[in-house]
Structure 1
Amino acid sequence: MQKETESYVKLSIENTVGYIEFFHPNRNSMPSDILSQLEETIIEAGKNDAFNVIVLKSGGDRTFCAGASFNEVIAVNDAKSGEVFFSGFAHVINAMRRCPKLIIGRVQGKTVGGGVGLTAATDYCLATKYASIRLSELSIGIGPFVIEPAVSRKIGLAAMSQMSIDAETFFSAEWAKEKGLYADVFETVEALDDAVKVLAEKLSAYNPDALKQMKTVFWEGTEHWDTLLIERAKISGVLVLSDFTKSTLKRFR
């Protein structure tokens, strides 16, 4: 199989299930254009009557999502552009929250930073044993401010705090399952894909109106996130300008 070298976001439909897949050759990191495409794809998928359930996945067989693009973070040179960049994940999380269809996460590998926010913003998430998670933001001088509401909502403030403070530690997939981020963890990608397919197709046969109403219940009380997550992006947009962060990020070029 030819290895992918170009980034993409694509939607495919199979048995009344919509599969949204994103990919970037640098460990599925998320530059602004990919985040924007992902947001738009989720919004449009929510309006598509050809399927009732969405599966969010990434391409490749290793990292699910390495978080924000370090190259773009390094290039930020003023607070406004920093706010705009960090708002990318805010817009995607809000699109997932507002989407009227249930979103199942399929996490095949390690997940860092904003990628943890994406997994937390799914309505139900399945993973492999290789899908360890890390919030590395404090170690580079910023913080997981934008994704914190989604992560804390899913695993609780105590676990979120532990991850944030132990910023250089990967927490195992089993740990993430114990805390509620993953509903189940599988030995292989093949087993994960089988489970995702069975669950998604089963859900797609349910009453779509009931699914939509259940989604509303799941996300009750988060209506203020449209404003909150952008305010959080402003915090990161300022911190990323610090000498500490700039010098630290240069080591990741």
Structure 2
Amino acid sequence: MAAQNPNGSLTTIIENKIATVEFGHPASNSFPRQLLDSLTSELNVLSANEDVSVIVLRSVGTGAFCAGASFDELLAVSNQEQGTIFFSGFANLINAMRSCSKIIVGRIHGKAVGGGVGIAAACDYAFATVDSSIKLSELAIGIGPFVIEPAVSRKIGKSAMSEMTLSAHEWKNTDWAHQKGLYAKVLQDQVELDIDLAHFTSKLASYNPEALIEMKKVMWEGTAHWDNLLLERAAITGKLVLADFCKNVLSQFKK
């Protein structure tokens, strides 16, 4: 199944009980709201597909894995309702990853910023390359990683999340992300990554699918309140993005 539109691309291939979902956008694989909604919908569909046991989540190209939210859409936000609606897209996506009945394996081939870090954190298992540095730059543009914080803190701990957030201009390298638990395995390049990823997911897909479903529930115990929490966080960000500080910084970034 494939969906193409001016706001990005989304393609899914199912083979041997493994669904490979690939998203893409010309602006460093960033997410406009339409692409967020498409990916969320696709994960919900795959969650109910009995022919799928494992989902591989990846992005196109050899550059960044994901640059987070679309700057163009952030700049276009003109009232709090629009801001809340936009950031609720990330809330819905993370909740879809959390509630999906299938194990989600992330293929993080390059840098991840902001919402991209949240997506990596919401994967149940993540492969990365040595080029997969991470940054939470939200404070630097006048907002904060409020929506993705629960997912990031769950993976790397509140202390490491706070360190990343407050050093908003600083990249954390792949070794740091690996040591903190964001990445389960780090490979030298994309060739090695794909070899290990294929072996791992093939093994995983051979396991009892009912056991995988039950294991997914155990792994995400205690997060049912995220349905409301992440939407509340989206409202906070939706308000902050309207401030002159944020608008000015976003304009400079775009230039």
TM norm structure 2: 0.96
Stretches of structure 1 that go unaligned for 5 or more consecutive residues are none
Partner of 1:216: 217
Q: Is the 8 A contact 1:5 1:25 kept in 2?
A: no
Task: Indicate whether 1:180 and 2:163 are aligned.
Answer: no
Q: How does 1:24-39 map to 2 (within 5 A)?
A: 24-39=25-40
Runs of 4+ that moved beyond 3 A: none
CA–CA distance in 2 between the matches of 1:88 and 1:236? 12
Partner of 1:190: 191
- Which digits, 9 at most, give the CA deviation of each residue in 1:132-187, with x for residues without a partner? 00000000100000000000000000000000000001100110000000011110
Partner of 1:145: 146
Q: How does 1:1-253 map to 2 (within 5 A)?
A: 7-253=8-254
CA–CA distance in 1 between the matches of 2:130 and 2:15? 26
C-alpha RMSD of matched pairs (Å): 1.1
- Deviation, 1:51, is 1.9
- Deviation, 1:14, is 2.1
Q: Secondary structure at the match of 1:252?
A: helix
Stretches of structure 2 that go unaligned for 5 or more consecutive residues are none
CA–CA distance in 2 between the matches of 1:5 and 1:91? 20
- Which digits, 9 at most, give the CA deviation of each residue in 1:197-251, with x for residues without a partner? 1111101000001000000000000000000000000000000011100111101
CA–CA distance in 1 between the matches of 2:5 and 2:67? 16
CA–CA distance in 2 between the matches of 1:195 and 1:223? 32
Q: Secondary structure at the match of 2:11?
A: strand
CA–CA distance in 1 between the matches of 2:245 and 2:115? 20
TM norm structure 1: 0.97
Letter in 1 for 2:171: F
CA–CA distance in 2 between the matches of 1:169 and 1:88? 26
- Which digits, 9 at most, give the CA deviation of each residue in 1:14-54, with x for residues without a partner? 22210011000110000001000000011001111222100
Letter in 1 for 2:143: I
CA–CA distance in 1 between the matches of 2:200 and 2:52? 14
Q: Is the 8 A contact 1:134 1:168 kept in 2?
A: yes
CA–CA distance in 2 between the matches of 1:193 and 1:91? 28
- Deviation, 1:10, is 1.3
- Deviation, 1:5, is 10
Identity %: 52
Q: Secondary structure at the match of 1:26?
A: coil
Q: Secondary structure at the match of 1:73?
A: helix
CA–CA distance in 2 between the matches of 1:93 and 1:199? 23
